[in-house]
């Protein structure tokens, strides 16, 4: 109850409080590694707003091991009408792994977010999609650490007292100005080992059993069996260390460029889809324009016809309304006259009703005139029906 009241208070300014609260509670009940807070979020345009967020870790299975990935989910004040903003929140010992789903700022891009539907999408489904996606494409990895120098310090490799003078006897301390060999870094681990994140617990590194390349000292050529470190040994060791470091750097660049290529491909696909939509809209507008031009042409023709008719009417001396409509046969003339009479009676009955409502005539006069007009209207309608049957007209 205390948690519900706290969440309700934090969401008091949200548009859909009930739906957002239910969404948040469903997530907190299923993912104990997440907590909630109300913090200020700064948008790209510099504006800031107090937004509710879920922060913590979610369990992700990668190569049969469970890891806790740190994330933070910001809910917009119009949730669930608008999709939330999701970020990977790495610890100081982690580094973001750029991919088609996570950019270098840690922002998460998922089809579920892109196709967010207020009626069917929710936070619980979003996190489940994250768990599945991050299981295939880990969003973070451990930062490289300095490892011990790959040079032996055991006395078995040092010259024996009876081996005679050795110009490299000061090698272990390098106190006489000889250049130090580069210290190789640990290879990049493709998935983090989270320790100490709130709610996260510890996890196992899937690459922890990967051995570092074995030392090359056992394969160095030697002219004797005394174990003396010669200049050739040092040279080969430096070459090996530089080669390993270059390989790691090259592999890091390759992975980075591959992720950028995937991002560019995705952007290209979105641009192509947008281009198709724009082409479709342009084609629709062109069709509408053609149809509009045709309608304009028809209207201009009709306008010219009306102007000609008006000119003829103005030139005529007089105009007989009864001669405005000329029928081709006496039967049609009878039908036209019956229709005109019937329409006139209909209007007369209407105005009689209006007169009765305004107390202009009494009820007895109203009934008398309506009865007479109704008889005439019946006869005209019967005449119209017989004329239509005789002329072979429909209905």
pLDDT in tens, 66-106: 889 999 999 999 999 999 999 999 988 889 999 889 999 89
Whether 321 is in a domain gets the answer no
Task: Tell me which of 259 and 159 has the higher pLDDT.
Answer: 259
Separation between Cα atoms, residue 218 and residue 237, nearest integer Å: 11
Cβ atoms of 361 and 355 closer than 8 Å? yes
Place 62 in a pLDDT band, splitting at 50, 70 and 90.
Answer: confident
What's the pTM value of the predicted model, to 2 decimals?
0.40
DSSP letters, 27-88, are HHHH-TTEEEEEEEEE-TTS-EEEEEEEEEEEEEEETTEEEEEEEEEEEPTTTTSSPPEEEE
Distances (CA, A) of 213 to 144, 145, 194: 16, 16, 25
pLDDT at residue 306 in the model = 93
Whether 385 is in a domain gets the answer yes
Digit-coded pLDDT (tens) for 276-290 = 999 999 999 999 999
Place 241 in a pLDDT band, splitting at 50, 70 and 90.
Answer: confident
Whether 153 is in a domain gets the answer no
DSSP letters, 290-349, are HHHHHHHHHHHHHHHHHHHHHHHHHHSS---GGGSS--SSHHHHHHHHHHHHHHHHHHHH
90, 107, 142 - which closes a domain: 142
Nearest to residue 100, comparing CAs of 109, 113, 111? 109
Mean pLDDT value of segment 339-362: 93
Whether 221 is in a domain gets the answer no
Rg from Cα positions in the chain: 45
Mean pLDDT of the chain: 78
Cβ atoms of 53 and 73 closer than 8 Å? yes
Q: Which domain holds residue 89?
A: 1-142
Q: What is the total count of domains within the chain? A: 2
Ranking 14-23, 65-74, 122-131, 161-170 by mean pLDDT, the lowest is: 161-170
pLDDT at residue 227 in the model = 53
Whether 313 is in a domain gets the answer no
Separation between Cα atoms, residue 139 and residue 134, nearest integer Å: 6
Whether 275 is in a domain gets the answer no
Separation between Cα atoms, residue 206 and residue 327, nearest integer Å: 98
Separation between Cα atoms, residue 117 and residue 39, nearest integer Å: 25
Side-chain-side CA neighbours of 232 within 13 Å: the count stands at: 7
pLDDT at residue 184 in the model = 36
Mean pLDDT value of segment 321-343: 84
142, 171, 192 - which closes a domain: 142
Whether 87 is in a domain gets the answer yes
Whether 196 is in a domain gets the answer no
Share of the chain above pLDDT 90, in %: 45
125, 142, 159 - which closes a domain: 142
CATH of the domain at 136: 3.10.110.10
């Amino acid at each position: 109850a205390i948690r519900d009241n706290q969440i309700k208070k934090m969401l008091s300014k949200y548009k859909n409080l009930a739906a957002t609260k239910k969404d948040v509670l469903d997530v907190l009940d299923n993912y104990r590694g997440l907590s909630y807070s109300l913090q200020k979020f700064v948008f790209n345009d510099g504006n800031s707003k107090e937004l509710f967020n879920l922060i913590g870790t979610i369990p992700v299975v990668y190569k049969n091991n469970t890891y806790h990935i740190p994330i933070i989910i910001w809910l917009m004040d119009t949730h669930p009408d608008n999709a939330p903003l999701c970020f990977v929140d790495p610890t100081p010992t982690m580094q973001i792994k750029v991919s088609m789903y996570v950019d270098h700022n840690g922002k998460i891009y998922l089809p579920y977010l892109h196709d967010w539907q207020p009626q069917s999408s929710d936070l619980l489904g979003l996190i489940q999609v994250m768990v599945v996606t991050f299981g295939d494409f880990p969003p973070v990895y451990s930062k490289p650490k300095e490892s011990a120098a790959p040079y032996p310090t055991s006395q078995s490799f040092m010259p024996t007292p009876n081996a005679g003078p050795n110009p490299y006897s000061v090698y272990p301390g390098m106190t006489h100005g000889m250049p130090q060999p580069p210290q190789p870094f640990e290879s990049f681990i493709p998935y983090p080992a989270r320790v100490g994140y709130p709610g996260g617990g510890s996890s196992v590194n899937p690459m922890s059993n990967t051995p570092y390349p074995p030392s090359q000292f056992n394969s160095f050529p030697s002219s004797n069996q005394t174990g003396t470190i010669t200049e050739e040994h040092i040279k080969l060791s430096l070459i090996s260390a530089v080669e390993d470091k270059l390989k790691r750097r090259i592999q890091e660049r390759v992975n980075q460029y591959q992720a950028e290529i995937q991002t560019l491909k995705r952007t290209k696909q979105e641009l192509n889809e947008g281009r198709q939509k724009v082409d479709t809209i342009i084609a629709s507008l062109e069709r509408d324009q053609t149809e509009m031009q045709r309608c304009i042409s028809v209207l201009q023709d009709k306008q010219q016809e009306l102007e000609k008719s008006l000119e003829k009417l103005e030139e005529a001396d007089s105009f007989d309304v009864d001669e405005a409509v000329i029928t081709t046969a006496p039967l049609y003339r009878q039908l036209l006259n019956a229709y005109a009479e019937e329409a006139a009676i209909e209007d007369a009955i209407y105005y009689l009703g209006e007169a009765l409502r305004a107390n202009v005539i009494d009820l007895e006069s109203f009934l008398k005139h309506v009865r007479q007009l109704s008889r005439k209207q019946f006869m005209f309608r019967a005449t119209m029906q017989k004329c239509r049957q005789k002329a072979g007209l429909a209905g």
